Chain A
Amino acid sequence: MVKALHIVVDDCTGCQQCEMACSYKHEGVFNPAKSRIKVFEFKDQGRSVPYTCTQCSDAWCMQACPVDAISVNTQTGAKEVSGDLCVGCKVCTIACPFGTINYNHTSGKVDKCDLCGGEPACVEICPTPALTFIDAETTGMEKMRYWAEKTDQGQTAQT
């Protein structure tokens, strides 16, 4: 069963431990700026919003990649970047309408959430139910699909 990263905004306290865990897991340092999940703070609303790749089915990043460097992990469903194949052209960073694949100035390649191979470090560290890793069908993927469809380049009518 494919699992998805499920984000419940109302349960996020803004502690940013997910950013630390992500940065440490992928980059070996505790640096929120290097995290692939980012918590946006809306102080006027008292709201913290964790934000990362939803592994969307459209996978604009993967489709736009000119060198086949992004592929689907068949175990986790995550779209993963191959550091060996990515040349750093950044086309995916403008193709993704969610802005969740980003250029890494240190490596000269792009980074995105890879669900840590099926054991997301952000979920492990999250002290509240804001981040969970659960059956993809029961998550709030409808919302994600809604925005994906709004951006979609091709709307299928009767097929």
Chain B
Amino acid sequence: MKHVIVGAGPAGVTAAETLRKADPDGEVTLVGGEADPPYGRMAIPYFLIGNIADSGTFLRKSDDPYDGQGIRYVQGIAEDLAADDGKLTLADGQQLDFDKLLISTGSHPIKPPIDGLDLPAVHHCWTLQDARDICGLIGEGKDVVLMGAGFIGCIIMEALALSGSNLTVIEAQDRMVPRMMNKTAGDMIANWCRSKGVNVMTSAKVTGVAEDGGKLSITVDNGETLPADLLVVATGVRSNMDFASGSGIDMDIGIKVDDHLQSSINSIYAAGDVAQGPDFSTGGWDVHAVQPTSVDHGRIAALNMAGHDVTYQGSLNMNVLDTVGLISCSFGLWQGVEGGDSSEKVDTANSRYTLLNFDGDLLVGAVTLGRTDHIGVLRGLIQSRIRLRGWKDKLMEDPNLFVEAYVDLTRT
């Protein structure tokens, strides 16, 4: 059996390792699109601030983790997919034959249609190479503008701020991290960031970027014009699936996969940021571009490719973010469900916030700010569908007791 995995992020690497064990006699080929060995995007901020070398971001630290483990590693960009023939063509002309293919090509950042975003001082911070390019442009006295305060923008915001740069963040929505935080929590994060010296603008849009005397000049629709040595664009990503567009595979915002991570073509699976798979909370289909989902996808897709029959319960949308020292988390249906109760505790003075959303006596979503201890039990409570019984009333009174609720309900 010839297994080809195209895309060597967390989903692809996990799948390759799982396949290597689950199908000892099969051939496993892993195709990475970048010059660097497979690395973890979540580690990039720590490289940017100089805590770790670039090698500290690598997904695997052992010597020769791919070819040395019986995983053939190939570098190249996928260009064409001939599903019926079982052939994947790379940009350099190389053809890879497969019996089973996993698409784990991730996503790429997009730029909104604004004049001037092609200037040399405008960068994304998506790949490890992007981070290297940015390193020389940040530091004391540099004017840096970050466009987009979503999750991706925010994970590098701290590094940009800690570099000593004069940092301005511009977010088009009415709050920071709008896809992970409600207005209360998003505003608390913005106020925290301002107290740390970051200039935060919300409900503000960049309307144009020009070069002016060796610097960028960034025009914002709130009337301000900002000088900048660097503009980082973090306004969203799109799945990398163009190479498969002629294959007839079903795609929407990602490659559509079923509860076995199998696509509309039997021999092809998808995992990670490129996969539009089952959503645990809604029962629908979505892209959850987060590390835990990627590795779960990779593992389960690989087991199914190896001939096992493993059903995926769906991914839980969840995130953890550190914005200049304030740690925030969101889980599941943090916006709540119709007819469901909510329990909220706001402690503005200490930048602490807890929101729990229930459906009956099940926890279905949560947002926290300023707390980290035992935070994972929120996943446990939601995904194990633990009936809260008498704890529901206690949590309605004080949502901060969720760890006590979990321990009491599961340790008898």
Contact = CB atoms under 8 A, between A and B. Distances in A.
A126 interface: no
Interface in A53-112: 60, 63-64, 66-68, 85, 87-91, 93-103, 105
A153 interface: yes
B404 A40 contact: yes
Name B's interface SS. Answer: mixed
Interface of B: 10, 14, 40-43, 45-46, 51-52, 56-62, 290-292, 295-296, 299-300, 303, 308-313, 315, 318-320, 322, 327, 329, 331, 372-380, 383-385, 403-404, 406-408, 410-412
B313 A98 contact: no
Contact of A64 (B51, B291, B303, B385): B291
A94 B331 contact: yes
Q: Select the residue from B51, B291, B329 with max chain A CB neighbours within 10 A.
A: B291
A111 to B, nearest CB: 11
Contacts of B315: 153
B354 to A, nearest CB: 14
A154 B380 CA distance: 15
Contacts of A100: 374, 376
B351 to A, nearest CB: 14
Contacts of A147: 380, 384, 410
A67 B55 CA distance: 9
Interface in A1-50: 7, 9, 38, 40, 42, 45, 49
A102 B14 contact: no
Given A40-B408, A51-B407, A85-B61, A96 B376 contact: yes
A89 B43 contact: yes
B46 A97 contact: no
Contacts of A156: 303, 308-310
Contacts of A103: 327, 372
Nearest to A103: B372
Contacts of A90: 320, 322, 327, 372
Nearest to A101: B376
Contacts of A105: 372
Contact of B46 (A38, A88, A151): A88
A102 B311 contact: no
B401 to A, nearest CB: 10
B375 A87 contact: no
A153 B313 contact: yes
Nearest to B297: A153
A49 B300 CA distance: 34
Given A94-B375, A151-B379, A151-B380, A87 B43 contact: yes
B146 to A, nearest CB: 19
Contacts of A153: 296, 299-300, 312-313, 315
A74 to B, nearest CB: 14
B64 to A, nearest CB: 14
Contacts of A51: 407, 411
A131 to B, nearest CB: 13
A158 interface: yes
Contacts of B57: 66-67, 87
B406 A68 contact: no
A98 B51 contact: no
Contacts of A40: 403-404, 407-408
Contacts of A67: 40, 42-43, 56-59, 61
Nearest to A152: B313
Given A66-B43, A68-B60, A147-B410, A155 B311 contact: yes
A51 B411 CA distance: 9
A91 B329 CA distance: 10
A154 B300 contact: yes
A97 B309 contact: no
State the 7 A-B residue pairs at the shortest beta-carbon distance, nearest first: A66-B40, A99-B374, A97-B380, A99-B377, A99-B376, A96-B376, A87-B46
B292 A155 contact: no
A66 B10 contact: yes
Most chain B CB within a 10 A radius of its CB, from A85, A88, A97, A105 = A97
Given A64-B291, A91-B320, A154-B303, A98 B411 contact: no
B275 to A, nearest CB: 14
B292 A64 contact: yes
Given A63-B299, A91-B42, A100-B376, A9 B292 contact: no
Given A60-B376, A68-B62, A89-B45, 9 more contacts: A66-B40, A67-B56, A87-B57, A89-B42, A91-B290, A99-B375, A99-B378, A153-B300, A156-B303
Contact of A68 (B59, B313, B329, B407): B59
B43 A94 contact: no
Contact of B311 (A87, A94, A154): A154
A60 B296 CA distance: 9
Contact of A94 (B60, B303, B320, B407): B320
